[in-house]
Amino acid sequence: MKLIVGLGNPGAQYEWTRHNAGFMAVDVLAQRHAAGQIPKSRFHAVTLDTIIGTEKVILMKPTGYMNLSGQSVGEAIRFFKLDPQEDLIVLVDDIALPVGHIRVRKRGGSGGHNGLSDIDRILGGEDYPRVRIGVGNVPKFMGQADWVLSKFMKEERDDVQRSVLSAADASESILEVGITKAMNAFNTKLVKPKAKAKNDDTQSKQSATDSESKVEKSNKENSSTQE
């Protein structure tokens, strides 16, 4: 049996917030594999039992707030006698990734994420797979808490939809082919916007220089003709 946990905050006021990207991804899995089922209330969470490929899977959304996520995960792990390294996948938002990107990891630190920190505390370590869903870097004029609790902007929503679908795909891939092959398939190299902007700026300067040269040449030819 496998446990796939999407992290987020319960309540309508938190829908489409950056911190609820994990909820959004597990909702995609529920739509694909457990459509029409009535969720169970247990482990301080809502859960769905399903089968993905050949694996029995529990899809979970903790109903406590983000900083209590470990309680739900720990209860389920102990009840079903699961091994976090082999049987757990956590779907979580990540401010270190741009919107629209995901990363699959075998393990990792919490990065200041309260949900992951609580899971680490309850499980006694950070050795469990997770799929990180990019929600964008914190702007300089905002605090981290305000940023992750803010809603995605309208212009970001296509990228958000793409990333939560990819996170669901990656979770299915982990179950089917294992974490290493899933990492190879889904962890594409990020292109840094700054490098592109610098290149564009260089091209713009070159274009401006070429234009100035053409104008100067034209003026010289006109001056020569007038003489």
pLDDT of 220 strictly over 90: no
| 58-77 residues labelled b (16+ CB within 10 A) or e (exposed) | bbbbbeebbeebbbbbbbbb
Strands 130-134 and 2-6: unpaired
Based on the fold, state whether residues 210 and 117 are members of the same structural domain: no
Strand blocks (E) in the chain: 2-6, 40-42, 45-52, 55-62, 88-94, 102-105, 130-134
Q: Each residue of 164-204: pLDDT tens digit?
A: 999 999 999 999 999 999 999 999 766 555 554 445 554 54
Supply the range of the domain harboring residue 204.
191-227
Structure confidence at residue 12 (pLDDT): 93
Q: Each residue of 113-142: pLDDT tens digit?
A: 989 999 999 999 999 999 999 999 889 988
Tokens of 210: 């070429």
Q: Rounded CA gap, 82 and 12, in Å? A: 31
Q: Each residue of 38-85: pLDDT tens digit?
A: 999 999 999 999 999 999 999 999 998 899 999 999 999 999 999 999
Based on the fold, state whether residues 119 and 54 are members of the same structural domain: yes
* CATH label of the domain that carries residue 125: 3.40.50.1470
The crossing angle, in degrees rounded to 10, of helices 21-33 and 157-177 is: 60
Based on the fold, state whether residues 196 and 164 are members of the same structural domain: no
Based on the fold, state whether residues 42 and 95 are members of the same structural domain: yes
**Cα-atom radius of gyration of the chain, to the nearest Å?**
24
Amino acid letter at 115?
G
Amino acid letter at 43?
F
Which residue is associated with the tokens 């757990």?
A: 88
Based on the fold, state whether residues 200 and 182 are members of the same structural domain: no
pLDDT of 154 strictly over 70: yes
pLDDT of 149 strictly over 60: yes
Structure confidence at residue 199 (pLDDT): 52
CA 85, distance to chain mean position in Å, is 20
Based on the fold, state whether residues 138 and 223 are members of the same structural domain: no
Overall number of domains in the chain: 2
State percent of the chain over pLDDT 70: 83
For residues 12-29, give the mean pLDDT.
Answer: 94
CA angle 22, 35, 173 (to 5 degrees): 50
- Tell me the torsion sign for CA atoms 111, 116, 119, 123: negative
Cβ atoms of 186 and 132 closer than 8 Å = no
Residue 206's pLDDT band, with cuts at 50, 70 and 90, is low
Structure confidence at residue 190 (pLDDT): 64
Structure confidence at residue 225 (pLDDT): 40
Tokens of 54: 């050949």
Amino acid letter at 203?
Q
Catalytic positions, please?
19
Structure confidence at residue 189 (pLDDT): 66
Based on the fold, state whether residues 105 and 200 are members of the same structural domain: no
Structure confidence at residue 192 (pLDDT): 57
Residue 108's pLDDT band, with cuts at 50, 70 and 90, is confident
Structure confidence at residue 89 (pLDDT): 97
